[in-house]
Amino acid sequence: MIGRTLRLAMIGCVLVAASVTGLQRAFPPLAGGDPAPDRVELGRLLFFDPVLSADGTLSCAHCHRPDRAMADGRPRARGRNGVVLERNTPTLYNVAFKDRLMWDRRAASLEAQVRLPLFRTEELGADPERLVARLEAIPAYQDRFSAVFGEAISIDRIADAISAFERTLVSQRSRFDRYAAGDRGALTVAERRGLSLFRSLNTRCFECHRLPTFDAPLAIGIGVPSMDPGVAGAGGNPVQTGFFGVPGLRNVALTAPYMHDGSLATLDDVVDFYRKGGGRASGLSAPRVHEHIRAFDIGDDEAADLVAFLGALTDESQRPRVPNSVPSGYPVLEEDS
Ligand code: HEC
Ligand code: HEC
């Protein structure tokens, strides 16, 4: 009886805490369950191994760097031989929970996405047969593939392993999450004001950047001025010209510069862009600019609060370790922090 009362009291306590904020949401469970550790470890080695590129100069990690919150800090990515690509490198935190990947949403799964940078000449530029042959010639890879998958090395199994690694890149323990769970002191007063603004009908940030990942399974135009056709260029409807997927905002304070083309240098610039009506400020209108993107009137101090709140979404507790060496023997990415 006493046990029962206590248990009820505890449940009550949790409910009270959650209802204080109403912000706590569980991350969706992974479709295939948590990835097996040996698969993740193989994926991690491949992710950091320049053997994946045609000339041994580039790995996934050269653009998705652990010391840059799995992005690269550049406006637009730099591929092999320094060629500047079209788009900004997104973070890989919480990619496990996205319904589609890439700024234009053209990849339907992580497994499918791996093939895009892997085979694109300007990125890793790998040739499927040659890559498999090179990995087969490295005993450490041969052993690991057969231990993990019980079959020969193939592009499918490479993609499986890398995707398993990517699914471990979860960011869900920010100060915001502690606040959402009922710990009011986890956010400063300014950050709490910023959260209210973020959720207000004035800014409407919450309509697209939704709990718990701060993204949404939508293609949206906000009117960042660029010639990029976005979703329309990836088999979408021409009406979706300049539409992009909604990026998640966790760890966003660490992943400047911003937007698909890296054209906004800081979070202050981002808030300024929205405050002036997004693309409406440069003369764009619907459907190019979504109806929820409208100029709103907030003071500079409130804009600063909004930026402060975005800073409370930082959590790198699952930051991956850079391997000391990789089975190919190629030099591994050097981190500067
Ligand atoms: C040359 C830099 C570069 C390399 C190398 C690279 N990426 Fe990327 N990555 C990018 C850019 C740029 C994008 C966005 C491309 C787009 O939207 O068209 C991206 C997008 C992604 C996404 C989608 C993220 C999202 O939120 O939609 C994933 C996942 C990803 N990369 C994983 C990888 C993996 C795995 C590798 C190695 C096989 C890799 N990348 C190699 C630059 C790179
Ligand atoms: C109608 C949907 C919508 C609303 C409302 C919205 N966003 Fe966005 N947000 C997007 C889309 C789509 C992008 C990507 C656009 C692009 O790259 O061209 C984006 C990009 C961003 C980025 C850049 C992320 C990165 O990694 O580059 C930040 C930061 C951001 N939004 C914050 C906000 C804030 C703060 C608000 C409220 C003032 C807000 N958003 C309101 C849809 C929306």
144 residue type, one letter = R
pLDDT confidence of residue 123: 98
- 287 preceded by cis ω (within 30°)? yes
What atom of ligand 2 comes closest to residue 103's alpha carbon? 17
pLDDT tens, 138-152?
A: 999 999 999 999 999
Q: Which atom of ligand 1 is nearest to 78's Cα?
A: 1
Tokens for 136, please give them. 């087969």
**C-beta pairs of 288-294 under 8 Å, 24+ apart in sequence:** 288/221, 288/223, 288/241, 288/242, 289/221, 289/222, 289/223, 290/208, 290/220, 290/221, 290/222, 292/204, 292/207, 292/208, 293/204, 293/222, 293/223, 294/204
Instruction: Evaluate if residue 3 carries a pLDDT over 80.
Output: no
Ligand 1 atom closest to the Cα of residue 103 is 17
- Which two tokens mark 229? 């056709």
Q: What is the rounded CA–CA span in Å between residue 105 and residue 46?
A: 24
Atom number in ligand 1 closest to CA 87: 12
Contact at 8 Å (CB) between 36 and 142? no
Q: Is 292 in the pocket of ligand 2 (CB under 6 A)?
A: yes
Question: Which residue carries 């591994």 as its tokens?
Answer: 332
Q: How close is the Cα of 309 to the center of ligand 1, in Å?
A: 27
Q: Ligand 2 pocket, 219 CB below 6 A?
A: no
Q: Is 205 in the pocket of ligand 2 (CB under 6 A)?
A: yes
CB of 101 shorter than 6 A to ligand 1: yes
Segment 257-281, tens digit of pLDDT:
999 999 999 999 999 999 999 999 9
Residue 122 CA from chain centroid, whole number? 22
Which residue's C-alpha comes closest to atom 41 of ligand 2?
Answer: 205
Using only C-alpha atoms, what is the Rg of the chain?
Answer: 22
Q: Which value, to the nearest 10 degrees, does the dihedral of the CA atoms of residues 104, 110, 111, 116 take?
A: 40
Please indicate whether residue 68, judged by its CB atom, sits closer than 6 Å to ligand 1.
Answer: no
- pLDDT tens-digit readout, 44-96: 999 999 999 999 999 999 999 999 999 999 999 999 999 999 999 999 999 99
Q: Is the C-beta atom of 253 inside 6 A of ligand 1?
A: no
| CA atoms of 83 and 85, how far apart (whole Å) | 6
